[in-house]
Amino acid sequence: MAPVQSPLSLNSELTRALDLPFPPTSFSARAKLIEHLDAHILERLEQLAEREILPAPLRALEARARALRLRFEAQNKRVALRLAARIAGGQYSPQGLARALRRCADVREAETGYDALDELLAELIDGGALPELSAQLEPEMVAYQPTPGRVILALVERAALSSSDVLCDLGSGLGWVVIVSALLSGAQGIGVELEPAYAAYANTCAQQLGLSQLRFITADAREAPLRAANVFYLYTPFRGSLLEHMLRRLEQEARTRQIRVCSYGPYTPTVALSPWLRLQSPSEPDPNTLCVFESTH
């Protein structure tokens, strides 16, 4: 068993961890410092407090860390509120908003996972507290996980979304993909979501942002109406035979009009095997990047 660190040693180590670069002048820098405070100080002190009473120096260190965290959160909240007010006031073109988001959150597409852009979007797209979830997922349905913001930006660009498109997100969750895509392109949008609480939340967020061209419906994707859309997005909402069933449904839609299918996540290679789809971007199917396919029927 590893030796228990003495309070004096821990205090010295955590004090060094609190020696942060100041002042953090951007949303991105503050978001990273909040993560640093959580991982290197507050979580460790919480673990220690579960075993023993914190000595005075560590309590003072904890208070300082929590105060900094609150200050950074308040500053980032103000940034998000200003941005939301400008969006509501029509002060951004879609291209201007994309530049503002990239600049504010220091977006780097080569990164993986979530980043400061996701923190910013969570502040901008806020429908309040989620009600209790009620939908029961079948074994081949995948639990909701939000699409990273950088992937949504890539979707708008690589799929060349415009106001003439109707984007359908199959398994839309809290609605981020449809909402952000609409803000950045003017596209109409439909979110298909099995969980009623998620669909209601997304409709609230869309209304708050004045996006009347969007609607989120509670439906099983196997039975949802798809005819209005010409662009479909999949972030691994299904797997196995259910995914194959949905791809057959999309193929039927493609026989009536040309569609684009955008995929992100571990089941993208399965989507790429569909003979009626041709990969447009990138050159090879990659689960870690946004892939855009066009129908060939």
Residues 6+ apart with CB under 8 A from 20: 33, 36, 68
Buried b (16+ CB within 10 A) or exposed e, 91-114: ebebeebbebbbebbbbeeeeeeb
pLDDT of residue 136: 87
How would residue 69 be classed by pLDDT, with cut points 50, 70 and 90? very high
pLDDT of residue 8: 67
Identify the DSSP state of 281: E
Q: Is 265 left (phi over 0), alpha (psi -120 to 50) or beta?
A: left
**Is 173 strand, coil or helix?**
coil
- Mean pLDDT for the chain? 90
Identify the DSSP state of 23: -
pLDDT of residue 111: 60
Mean pLDDT of the 53-81 span = 91
CB 167 within 8 A of CB 190: yes
Identify the DSSP state of 38: I
pLDDT of residue 2: 44
CB 169 within 8 A of CB 178: yes
Is the pLDDT at 66 greater than 60, yes or no?
yes
For residue 198, how far is the Cα from the chain centroid?
14
CB 216 within 8 A of CB 178: yes
Mean pLDDT of the 55-78 span = 91
Nearest to 263 by CA among 286, 234, 287: 234
CB 198 within 8 A of CB 172: yes
Q: Measured between alpha carbons, how far is residue 68 from residues 2, 19, 63, 92 in Å? A: 31, 12, 9, 32
pLDDT of residue 110: 53
How would residue 5 be classed by pLDDT, with cut points 50, 70 and 90? low
How does DSSP assign 86-140, residue by residue? HHHTT---HHHHHHHHHHHHT--TT--S--HHHHHHHHHS---SPPPP-PPPPTT
pLDDT in tens, 221-269: 999 999 999 999 999 898 999 999 999 999 999 999 999 999 999 999 9
Residue type, 151: V
Residue tagged 């460790």 (tokens):
44
Residue type, 36: H
How would residue 40 be classed by pLDDT, with cut points 50, 70 and 90? confident
CB 172 within 8 A of CB 196: no
State how far the Cα of 12 lies from the Cα of 10, in Å rounded to an integer. 5
Give the phi and the psi of residue 199 in degrees, each rounded to 5. -60, -40
pTM for this one? 0.88
